Amino acid sequence: MRKLYLLLAFALVAWVNFSCSSDEKTYSEQKEEERSVIKSFIGRNVVLMSGKDTLLNVGKINVITEEQFDKQDSTTNLAKNEYVLFTGSGVYMQIVREGTGSRIEMGESRRLMCRFWEYNIMGDSLQLSNRILSYAQRPEYMNVYNNSGYIGGSFDTSVATGSLMFNSYGDVNIPDGWLKPLEYIRVGAQTDAENRISKVRLIVPHSAGHSHAMASVYPCFYELTFQEI
């Protein structure tokens, strides 16, 4: 009888393990779900909310190709709510303001300050931001460089306030999706009301996101501002 109980117990454990593993999605299935969620996000009239507060009216997005983007002198038409899709990375970008100052040229290094909304598209919720009251005193400081046309960089973890992105996700490297706009915008200090700092909006798939998004396979929507300091 004892052997029978042991066999039944082993069978039950095996069934539970099989059931759990059957419920787990493959990486391919997760990527397909991500693509579906992004497609839905683009096709509907999105209003980003945090509780009862409206953060941003994203609207229905009009996707343009890189070829069209080039023809428009690397601009996106705000009246048409255009976002350019970079097929190599899967990142969608809207340039709200090209910004003041200058682009980061080859061989240059710059120190930037960034404020952002990070909205988890899969979870349909605000995930992180230094534009809300509790984190308003924690702008993101970044050290970026242009090495032969490749723009890279890292979050500055040495500042007194700390890096919100690093403290949240444990990755000092700036996500590729955040770096993409720096190929097209200008970064400088705002000197008056007419010459405002750059602002972009992005849809960033997990493959171009931070380490947590990569591990969990989810896309994020961002609104970012960049200012040289």
Q: Are 187 and 217 in contact (CB under 8 A)?
A: no
- Condensed to tens digits (0 to 9), the pLDDT of residues 19-61 reads 344 458 999 999 999 999 999 999 999 888 877 888 889 999 9
Cite the beta strand spans of the chain per DSSP E.
46-50, 53-59, 62-64, 82-86, 91-97, 109-120, 125-129, 140-147, 150-155, 198-204, 220-228
Whether residue 210 is contained in a domain is answered as yes
Confidence at residue 214, expressed as pLDDT on a 0 to 100 scale: 97
Q: What is the mean pLDDT of residues 74-83?
A: 97
Q: In the predicted model, what is the mean pLDDT of residues 7-16?
A: 36
pLDDT at position 14 is: 38
| CB count in 10 Å sphere of residue 178 | 28
Q: Is 23 within the bounds of a domain?
A: no
Domain of 179: which CATH number? 3.10.50.40
Radius of gyration of the chain (CA): 21
Does the pLDDT value for residue 159 go beyond 70?
A: yes
The domain containing residue 58 runs over which residues? 47-228
Instruction: Tell me which range, 4-18, 66-80, 192-206, is most confidently predicted by mean pLDDT.
Output: 66-80
Q: Is residue 42 a part of any domain in this protein? A: no
Given a cut of 60, whether residue 9 has pLDDT beyond it is no
Whether 12 is covered by a domain: the verdict is no
Query: Domain count of the chain?
Result: 1
Question: Quick check: is 199 in a domain?
Answer: yes
Mean pLDDT for 67-88 is 98
